[in-house]
Structure 1
């Protein structure tokens, strides 16, 4: 089953398997990521976050459900990799700003 994701979110998941800089380009210049109770602001911080996460864990995320709620788009993704509890379904709460991601919060 193929999901219909808004373009910035589809770009994020496509970039997720590449490098931190490519992921960061999916975000607004003042974009925010909240992951594992840490906050990363701006593209440089987001690129570092993604680079560190990729170095720490070898993982793949596959969107399995999407729910648009006003300005928030909730995506559930099955994440598999070399981390405790794999696989796990994570919820990605995206807030979009035009063609870019303004905010992303990842929770279990």
Structure 2
């Protein structure tokens, strides 16, 4: 097994773990974390594809795209956390607005 293949498998595993976190996560922060894990897995998998041959140099274009993606993911995470904080200030919960537990809590007020 070559190193790029191992990195690709680890990236695929991270994508799977992150998708599970997105689907099974109850709170917004867990979903944001799951989304970040998916992004990290995609970056790792894409970086493993950049190494086409073990003796040749790695292609710099995918590396530049990965770095750009990391910056965009960081900005998206900051926006998502800011929106989650604002939601918590307004509703005193971090669950998504369509969640069944939120509907029950709103009926009790």
TM-score range, shorter chain: under 0.3
Between structures 1 and 2, the one with greater strand share = 1
Between structures 1 and 2, the one with greater helix share = 2
- TM-score by structure 2 length? 0.25
- TM-score by structure 1 length? 0.25
- Give the greater-gyration-radius structure (CA): 2
